[in-house]
Amino acid sequence: MGSRLEGKTILVTGAAGALGSAVARSCAAEGAALVLADLNVEAVQALADEIGAAGATASAERLDVTDGDEFDALVAASAQRYGTLNGLVNTAGIVSPNARIHHLSTQDFERTVSVNLTGTFHAIRAVARALRKRSPVSIVNIASVSGLTAWSYAAPYCASKAGVIHLTRVAALEYAKEGIRVNAVCPGTFPTALHETLPAEAMQAIEAKHPLGLGSPDNLTGAVVYLASDESSWVTGHSLVVDGGYSLP
Ligand SMILES: NC(=O)c1ccc[n+]([C@@H]2O[C@H](COP(=O)([O-])OP(=O)(O)OC[C@H]3O[C@@H](n4cnc5c(N)ncnc54)[C@H](O)[C@@H]3O)[C@@H](O)[C@H]2O)c1
């Protein structure tokens, strides 16, 4: 157990997922109290029970990040329950159908953007509405190297993640003077449920592009804890690439 997040309350979206649950465990191990939010409420309740049994504080909440009113209500209620919120880590995300642009429907595009980009917008807006000038908050958005490099067959995903990176910069600028830092993490590939539909050859091709090999959620939690903690108090608007060397060439 460490103390890098001692005294902080952090909301994690997508907390039932591979990365979200790893982030939650790491933040709890560093002393944070957690609000764990996801569409999958049974899974976040199980995680909250596990974290609670280990001696930390965690509550589970159902949240659809595409619903701005729900997001506002959860941030306000969490801040009231815990006195304030000091961090928000946005890991909720989906991949788009694996197809070239001319095969994609408008709904395919909008669904991906609504979770990955509009969901991040709702998160930042909810924090700004409830906590601006009230207490320092660090927002960490999980983007992707696909927001920095172009991938065929993944236009909605790449566009949504590029949007997250730039939204992070704009929000950082808008709220720097009001106590809210906003940063992003751009992971390379770590195999999870997101890759279930990809053929084995596609995964092998992706792996070959990572000089350090494919990652795991545990390769990313250090970056998230750093950005959520006071160690990064002079860092805002940054997108921290954690990708096993994927973006080097
Ligand atoms: N896995 C990778 O290789 C990789 C690489 C780069 C970036 N990312 C990003 O990391 C994040 C986490 O990915 P993961 O691999 O852990 O995925 P995951 O599928 O394991 O977890 C995603 C979680 O988001 C939740 N979610 C989906 N839609 C939601 C909504 N509307 N409201 C609330 N919760 C919702 C899901 O229920 C799930 O628990 C995503 O943003 C993803 O784009 C993943």
Q: Is 216 in the pocket of ligand 1 (CB under 6 A)?
A: no
Q: Is 17 in the pocket of ligand 1 (CB under 6 A)?
A: yes
Sign of the CA dihedral 57, 61, 228, 83? Answer: negative
Q: Take atom 4 of ligand 1 and give the residue whose Cα is closest.
A: 189
| Identified catalytic residue from 82, 153, 157, 226 | 157
Domain that holds residue 38: 9-242
Structural domain total, the chain: 1
In a domain, 207, yes or no: yes
In a domain, 1, yes or no: no
CATH code at 64? 3.40.50.720
Both tokens of 163, joined, read: 């949007």
In a domain, 92, yes or no: yes
The reply to whether 153 belongs to the active site is no
In a domain, 247, yes or no: no
Q: Which atom of ligand 1 is nearest to 21's Cα?
A: 16
Q: Take atom 25 of ligand 1 and give the residue whose Cα is closest.
A: 14
Grouped pLDDT means (10 residues each) for the chain, 249 residues = 96 98 98 98 98 98 98 98 97 94 97 98 98 94 97 96 98 98 98 86 92 97 98 98 96
**CB of 246 within 8 A of CB of 210?**
yes
Strands (E), the chain: 9-13, 33-38, 58-62, 87-90, 137-142, 180-187, 239-242
In a domain, 135, yes or no: yes
Q: Is 16 in the pocket of ligand 1 (CB under 6 A)?
A: yes
Q: Which atom of ligand 1 is nearest to 15's Cα?
A: 39
Strands (E), 127-227: 137-142, 180-187
In a domain, 2, yes or no: no
In a domain, 77, yes or no: yes
Among 92, 120, 99, which residue's Cα sits nearest to residue 197?
99
Give 240 Cα–ligand 1 centroid separation in angstroms.
Answer: 18
In a domain, 105, yes or no: yes
